[in-house]
Every structure is written in C-alpha cells, then in structure tokens.
C-alpha cells in the first residue's frame, strides 16, 4: 500500500540519561531520594478517547477530504508567563505541579497556594495520559507517574534484567496513576489515585469501555487496568505480556490491541483475545485470556519500509508469561525503542525513538512503512526529533511529543507537512508527554515530565508538571 496520508518518501534521550544517573547515584529503590526531592484522553470535534479512534478504513475519496485541524495555525510566538510558546490565539495554564495540591483554577504563577483539592499532592514525573468524560459534562484527566524502581535497572542495563526482575518482585514500586477531575467550566474539583505500588508507569490508553490501561516500562513489566472514576489500586492483566511496556492502542472493530516495547531491541506486539474473552457484540474485553503475537516484517525487510510498504505477518510470542527480552522469537523484527502508538482509520501508527521514525501498519493490507524519518527528512520537515508520545485527531493530524529534541509538540498534517504546535522553554532536561483532549476538543493537556518552579515566579527543570493548552474557539 501507499500510506493514505503522506507522500512517499539521537539515540537515547534525556530520560534515559536521568535513569542512569538515578541508579548510578546509589538510589536504587530509595524512597528517601524521592521524598528528598519532594515526595511522592465528545463534543463537536469528536476526538477519539480510545487509544485509537474510528474503526472504519477510509476510502481514497475520504482520505483526500482530510484536512488537518491544525493546518492553518501560525508560527510560534514568544513564550508566555508559563514558559510555553504557542501560535496566535492559543493560551496556556498550569493545572498541576509535583508535590503540590491541585487548585480549583490551576496553579498560581508566583508560588504554591495554601489549601487545595483532594488529599494527594500531585505525583512526580507525570507521563502518559488520557481523558474520560463525566456524566455532568466534565472530564477526568488520567496521568501516569514514571518513577523508576529496581526493575528499571534492567531497562537501562538490559544485561542485568534477569537479576533485576527478581529484585523487583520483592521491592514495592513507587509509581502511581493520579487523576484531575474537571467540571464542565474547567474548574478542578477533585484529585485521587487509581493505581499505586507499580514501577515506571509510562504510557497506556483509555479503553472503549472507559477504563485506563497503564503500562509498566521495565523488562518484566505488566499492564494494569484501572477504574478512573474512583480511587483504587488497579488490576494486573498478565495476558498482555511481560516486557518493557510503553503504550497501547485498541482497534475496537477487529477487537485487537497493539503494544510497543521500549528497548533497543524491542518488538511490536498485538494481543488477540480468546473468543470468550471479547465476544463479538460485547461492550468490552475481559483482558484475561488471549494470544500475544509479535510482528515479523517480510518482503525486502524492515529497512526497505523507508521506500515502500513491506508485507508483515504475526507469530505467537514465545513463552508469553515470561519476560520477552529473554524469549525473543528469532523471526520477529526488532524496533529501536518503541514509544507512542495510536489506531486511526485502519492504520496503526507508532514511534521509535532510537531512529526517530514514525511507522504505519495498514491493518487491512497487512503492510508496514515509515511515514517520517528524521535522517532523511528535508527542510522544512526536519523539525521533529526525540519522537515519543502520539495522539491522532479525527482530522488526521498526528501530534508527536518530543522527549528532548526542542521540547515541542509537532503536528504531522495529513498532507505530510510538519508544524510546531507548542514549545516549552527553559526545561531542556525534561520531555513532553501526556497529550489528551477534553471531550469538547477545546482543551489539550500535556506534561513536562521534569518541569517545576524556579523559585522566582517562573518554571524550570524539576519533578514534573501538567499544562493545559486552550484552543481558539474557531479551531
């Protein structure tokens, strides 16, 4: 196939450096280190809430009609008081900062406020995120906390994963998943934890049945299913495999899950439910029984996907209830650092950070191709590096958050051109993540995983914060 939305045609990032520093500083599993640093995805645009979106493959005529929502945004202006550059007509506010209680109207610029919402200070290292709607017209923002643990040593040093997986079994995880509860006018009214005791929770997805799947990113990591509407601890879903889970996308029409693995020799997976686990016509999957499968690229091989789509096939994973980095299927294809993944109109997009590429799997044709490659991109389309989290709008815009790079969210438009949507300044040791939209599509959330207050009324590198991008009414 020729990819419907595009014409043909830095290795490990700051986050990995921080992980290495964390462990080589002798802070493995150290709760004191954490406390010493402050503790602890409706409306008119019909943006998809699932880790994917519509489940109907578009006709060529439909594809030609796709005009990106952000097609006509202008250049980025100077940074605002929150340190964020946006196009004309956009505005930002800060809605959560690590170790501070959320405030009804967001965070004061000058410093922490007294009082606050809920009984949990906002977690450190906020990463992947999603939004679910509330019955009253409000919404809930769900946020992972990417706190390392003993098992994360096996992520940074894969040769040690066998040992660190064992240590992880006896070491309580320090990560969690938190929420911000919004009323229809954007006021924050509550905040609570829906998962705790896990390790290195990176991304995930909102399911069609409105739960949250949170991914542990270490070699023996699992996926946890959480109820975002009430406080709780989540439920592990071992059928989804044991590996350095990064993100998940769901094709609800075909009842398939797609999963990325963030390792230098990571694989791309799909999960096929047993017929009784997700029966046709059922509202949801039980996520208790299914087959974990690994992608194998045929044809001229994975490198040839730069020039033309290559055929793929799926093979059952070896020993799916054991760590996959120790059970590689020889025929499977390695991808260098799998990151965000999204299902949209029969295409599964995913990012790989090691080679700065965005891939597209055509689920009908069963082919794969590269739709963005930094090494071969030509100006003005060479502005995207450090590819990480993904979000695809119903208009076909692919929003890519940068881990490092220029700390931007970059839009890949349906015609293949790139435009910056925003840029965070003064936080070069951080990364952008957590993209999710309010149900009406007018507010976009994103995180600076390692952002925080600078003590002088502004923001700099820190332990994490969450921004809200307010879109113009006519967009």
Per-residue pLDDT tens for 430-445?
999 999 999 999 999 9
Which has more pLDDT, 431 or 120?
431
At 10, the pLDDT band (50, 70, 90 cuts) reads very low
Please report the pLDDT score of residue 65 as a whole number.
Answer: 65
User: Which CATH number goes with the domain that contains 354?
Assistant: 2.120.10.30
Mean per-residue pLDDT, 80-106: 96
In tens, the pLDDT along 204-240 reads 999 999 999 999 999 999 999 999 999 999 999 999 9
Residue 4 falls inside a structural domain: no
Taking only the tens place, the pLDDT of each residue in 259-295 is: 999 999 999 999 999 999 999 999 999 999 999 999 9
Task: Residue 164: give the domain boundaries.
Answer: 14-470
Q: Which residue has the higher pLDDT, 301 or 30?
A: 301
> Would the pLDDT of 52 be above 90?
no
Is there a domain that residue 208 lies in? yes
Query: Is 315 contained in some domain?
Result: yes
Q: What is the pLDDT of residue 64?
A: 56
Least confident of 106-115, 232-241, 354-363: 106-115
Instruction: Tell me the average pLDDT across 394-413.
Output: 96
pTM to 2 decimal places: 0.87
Residue 163 or residue 12, greater confidence: 163
* 287 part of a folded domain: yes
Domain count, the chain: 1
- The answer to whether position 9 is within a domain reads no
pLDDT computed for residue 67 by the predictor = 84
Write down the pLDDT at residue 167.
Answer: 84
For residue 180, what are its two tokens? 């911000």
Say if 475 falls within a structural domain: no
Judge whether 8 lies within some domain: no
Domain membership flag for residue 2: no
pLDDT at 332 over 70: yes
């Amino acid at each position: 196939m020729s990819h419907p939305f595009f014409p043909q045609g830095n290795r490990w990032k700051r986050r990995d450096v921080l992980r290495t520093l964390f462990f080589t500083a002798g802070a493995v599993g150290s709760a004191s280190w954490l406390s010493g640093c402050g503790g602890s995805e409706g409306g008119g645009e019909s943006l998809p809430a699932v880790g994917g979106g519509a489940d109907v493959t578009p006709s060529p005529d439909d594809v030609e009609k796709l005009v990106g929502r952000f097609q006509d945004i202008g250049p980025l202006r100077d940074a605002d008081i929150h340190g964020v550059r946006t196009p004309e007509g956009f505005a930002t506010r800060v809605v959560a900062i690590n170790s501070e209680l959320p405030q009804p109207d967001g965070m004061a610029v000058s410093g922490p406020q007294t009082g606050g919402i809920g009984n949990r200070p906002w977690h450190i290292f906020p990463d992947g995120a999603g939004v679910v709607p509330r019955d009253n017209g409000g919404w809930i923002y769900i946020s992972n906390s990417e706190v390392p643990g003993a098992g994360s040593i096996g992520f940074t040093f894969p040769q040690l994963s066998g040992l660190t997986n064992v240590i992880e079994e006896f070491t309580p995880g320090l990560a969690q998943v938190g929420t911000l509860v919004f009323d229809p006018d954007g006021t924050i009214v509550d905040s609570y934890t829906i998962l705790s005791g896990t390790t290195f929770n990176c991304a995930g997805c909102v399911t069609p049945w409105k739960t949250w799947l949170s991914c542990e990113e270490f070699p023996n990591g699992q996926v946890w299913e959480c109820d975002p509407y009430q406080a709780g601890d989540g439920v592990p879903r071992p059928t989804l495999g044991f590996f350095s889970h990064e993100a998940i996308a769901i094709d609800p029409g075909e009842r398939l899950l797609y999963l990325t693995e963030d390792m230098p020799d990571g694989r791309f997976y799909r999960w096929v439910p047993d017929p009784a686990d997700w029966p046709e016509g059922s509202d949801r999957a039980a996520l208790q029984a299914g087959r974990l499968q690994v992608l194998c690229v045929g044809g001229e091989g994975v490198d040839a996907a730069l020039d033309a789509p290559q055929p793929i096939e799926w093979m059952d994973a070896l020993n799916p209830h054991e760590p996959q980095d120790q059970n590689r299927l020889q025929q499977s294809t390695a991808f260098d650092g799998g990151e965000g993944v999204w299902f949209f109109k029969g295409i599964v997009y995913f990012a790989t950070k090691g080679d700065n590429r965005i891939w597209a799997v055509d689920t009908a044709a069963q082919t794969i191709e590269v739709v963005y490659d930094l090494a071969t991109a030509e100006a003005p389309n060479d502005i995207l590096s450090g590819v990480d989290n993904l979000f695809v709008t119903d208009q076909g815009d692919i929003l890519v958050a940068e881990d490092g790079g220029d700390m931007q969210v970059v839009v890949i438009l349906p015609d293949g051109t790139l435009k910056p949507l925003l840029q965070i300044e003064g936080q070069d040791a951080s990364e952008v993540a957590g993209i999710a939209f309010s149900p009406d599509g007018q507010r976009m959330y994103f995180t600076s995983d390692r952002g925080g207050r600078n003590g002088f009324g502004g923001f700099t590198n820190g332990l994490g914060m969450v921004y809200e991008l307010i879109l113009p009414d006519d967009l």
